[in-house]
């Protein structure tokens, strides 16, 4: 198979989704209104509620939701062959992810910037909200703890990425000042930021950093994990425009530079895809493609974490409601393009089928390492960039994305702790909520030893929990549409598909955990399954009531400072 054809067809599909389908959603389904006064303007506290240029917000939103998942999921899923992963990534981006992310953003903006957890209380009921918060907390805990471990492993295995990864924080702090304090034009700020970042990549490639063992009485892994949690905690407390927003924006631009290099290399080298279209000889122990494909590929097709970001931070920074089409839907398109690049790198970056089969010798093999190795080989063949520098560029890209998701994850989990406190009638301030998040996540990460491998302890449940959360978010959007007497089918059809596949996968995993006598994952699996089924039942009842109820225009009323309530005031 020619990788160039795959690249052109894939890019054409996801871009057509943005220019055609998102236009339909924006006009006919969500009915975006440029004159609606968004929470960013009504509250504008300079910390979490900040009216933001749509290009900057797109970068913040995109890199927050991306993480390493659009790379890891597709690069693992090609074990079933490149065709199923390609179809799910492209069709999932167009009809599932874009609609979901844009819808979550719209629903939150129309409800004072509240999170999906709090919206579930309004549209589904108090019991649904409480169970929803449990699922959200577990998902964010998995993300924060696992990404601390993943980033640490990459910093140790690719020491050339250390300088650019940590230097990017300094670049982001300066970029934030250039945009908001010094009022320097965005194009000039962007060029300076990206040039500085790639200068750091060149510097890192020349001067790799390997920590001594021990360092400050800790192993290198324990040191990096502790440093990452300290950084994420501080970043969570700072006003969003100081660090998170400019850091994510520069990373977003950097991603498109990286993708341009990768796709440009494919255009020149035109490598052959050596992996089979459909792999009929998968390694022993590989689970069935149905339903596991649909939970293995998360952010490259649809992801519940995106709804948390859309309603957690992005909705509080949206300048105009109509910007939601670009921020939400095109953010998903960016993920689809990254996932497509991961598929090509992991299937066309090897010389022979035997080389590919040696990497994909068991399920869950490949992932980031296959993306870095295969993508590096393609960039070397197409553009002549040295293997070392190619690997540094791609590894830095993966680490920076994982880091932006981790720091946003801590911020979102801080919101969840505060919202849970409000539900219980206890006011929890930002510092205490952040401390709770860090203590719980660090306890999990170090639960199996100083190497931080505990961060991946409950990761096997991420895919199913994440997709279940996406279906529950779609359920809330469907209730809102039904109450407004609008066409719910663009939401209901993906909702049913994702929910059925996710519950099916959760049941399959129950059997696996039982056979492995993994009682921790078995117990959590049961908790998530029961909570999700309960919320799904409550959602179905709410949809039925909404369908029979009267027209509900009340959420179209703009927020006023005095009406800001649970889940919005920070």
Instruction: Indicate whether 365 belongs to any domain.
Output: yes
pLDDT at res. 556: 52
pLDDT at res. 294: 94
DSSP 337-352: HHHHHHHHHHHHSSSS
The first and second tokens of residue 283, run together, are 């390694």
pLDDT at res. 24: 97
pLDDT at res. 399: 80
CA–CA dist 491, 260 (Å, integer)? 33
pLDDT at res. 553: 62
398 within 8 A of 372, measured Cβ to Cβ: yes
Taking CA atoms, 481 is separated from 34, 208, 300, in Å, by 19, 53, 26
Taking CA atoms, 458 is separated from 240, 243, 421, 447, 519, in Å, by 29, 29, 25, 11, 11
pLDDT digits (tens, 9 = 90+) for 407-462: 888 988 988 898 888 888 888 999 999 999 999 999 999 999 988 889 889 888 98
Q: How many domains does the chain have?
A: 1
pLDDT at res. 411: 87
**CB-count burial class (<10 Å; 0-12, 13-18, 19+) for 185:** exposed
Point out which residues pair with 218 in neighbouring strands: 215
pLDDT at res. 480: 94
Q: What is the four-CA torsion angle of 329, 331, 336, 337, rounded to 10 degrees?
A: 120
Instruction: Indicate whether 556 belongs to any domain.
Output: no
pLDDT at res. 393: 81
Instruction: Indicate whether 557 belongs to any domain.
Output: no
Instruction: Indicate whether 103 belongs to any domain.
Output: yes
Residues lower than pLDDT 70 in the chain: 551-570
Taking CA atoms, 154 is separated from 71, 163, 238, in Å, by 14, 13, 26
Instruction: Indicate whether 207 belongs to any domain.
Output: yes
pLDDT at res. 407: 86
Instruction: Indicate whether 569 belongs to any domain.
Output: no
CATH code at 169? 1.10.4160
Q: Which domain, by its residues, includes 479?
A: 3-548
pLDDT at res. 64: 81
Instruction: Indicate whether 64 belongs to any domain.
Output: yes
pLDDT digits (tens, 9 = 90+) for 276-304: 999 999 999 899 999 999 999 988 899 99
Instruction: Indicate whether 281 belongs to any domain.
Output: yes
């Amino acid at each position: 198979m020619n990788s160039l054809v795959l690249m052109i067809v894939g890019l054409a599909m996801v871009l057509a989704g943005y220019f055609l389908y998102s236009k339909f959603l924006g006009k006919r389904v969500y009915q975006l209104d440029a004159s609606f006064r968004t929470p960013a303007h009504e509250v504008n506290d300079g910390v979490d509620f900040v009216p933001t240029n749509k290009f900057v917000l797109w970068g913040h939103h995109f890199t927050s939701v991306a993480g390493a998942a659009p790379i890891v999921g597709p690069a693992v899923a090609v074990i079933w062959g490149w065709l199923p992963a390609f179809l799910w990534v492209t069709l999932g981006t167009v009809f599932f992810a874009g609609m979901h992310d844009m819808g979550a953003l719209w629903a939150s903006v129309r409800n004072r910037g509240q999170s999906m957890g709090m919206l579930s209380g309004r549209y589904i009921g108090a019991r649904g909200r409480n169970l929803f918060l449990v699922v959200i907390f577990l998902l964010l805990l998995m993300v924060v703890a696992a990404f601390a471990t993943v980033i640490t492993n990459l910093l140790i295995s690719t020491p050339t990425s250390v300088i650019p990864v940590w230097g990017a924080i300094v670049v982001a702090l300066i970029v934030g000042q250039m945009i908001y304090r010094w009022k320097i034009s965005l194009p000039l700020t962007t060029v300076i930021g990206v040039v500085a970042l790639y200068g750091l990549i060149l510097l890192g490639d020349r001067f790799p950093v390997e920590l001594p063992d021990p360092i400050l009485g800790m192993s290198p892994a324990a040191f990096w994990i502790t440093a990452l949690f300290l950084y994420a905690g501080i970043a969570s407390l700072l006003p969003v425009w100081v660090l998170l927003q400019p850091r994510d924006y520069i990373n977003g631009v950097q991603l498109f530079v990286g993708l341009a290099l990768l796709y440009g290399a494919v255009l020149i080298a035109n490598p052959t895809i050596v992996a089979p279209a459909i792999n009929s000889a998968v390694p022993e122990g590989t689970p069935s493609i149905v339903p596991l494909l649909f939970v293995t590929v998360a952010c490259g097709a649809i992801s519940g974490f995106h709804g948390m970001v859309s309603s957690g931070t992005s909705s509080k920074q949206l300048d105009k409601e109509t910007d939601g089409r670009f921020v939400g839907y095109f953010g998903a398109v960016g993920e689809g393009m990254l996932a497509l690049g991961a598929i090509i790198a992991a299937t066309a970056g090897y010389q022979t089928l035997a080389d590919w089969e040696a990497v994909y010798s068991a399920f869950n093999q490949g992932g980031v390492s296959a993306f870095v190795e295969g993508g590096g080989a393609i960039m070397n063949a197409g553009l002549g960039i040295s293997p070392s520098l190619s690997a540094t560029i791609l590894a830095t890209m993966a680490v920076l994305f994982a880091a932006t998701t981790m720091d946003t994850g801590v911020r979102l989990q801080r919101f969840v702790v505060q919202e849970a406190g409000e539900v219980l009638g206890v006011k929890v301030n930002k510092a205490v909520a952040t401390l709770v998040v860090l203590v719980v996540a660090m306890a999990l990460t170090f639960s199996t030893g100083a190497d931080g491998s505990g961060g991946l302890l409950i990761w096997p449940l991420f895919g199913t929990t994440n997709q279940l959360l996406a279906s529950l978010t779609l359920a809330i959007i469907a209730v809102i549409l039904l109450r407004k007497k609008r066409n719910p089918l663009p939401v209901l059809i993906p909702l049913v598909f994702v929910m059925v596949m996710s519950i099916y996968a959760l049941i399959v995993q129950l059997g696996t955990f039982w056979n492995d006598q993994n009682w921790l994952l078995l117990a959590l699996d049961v908790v998530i399954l029961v909570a999700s089924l309960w919320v799904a039942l409550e959602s179905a009842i709410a949809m039925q009531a909404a369908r029979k109820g009267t027209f509900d225009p009340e959420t179209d009323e703009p927020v006023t400072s005095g009406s800001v309530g649970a889940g919005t005031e920070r």
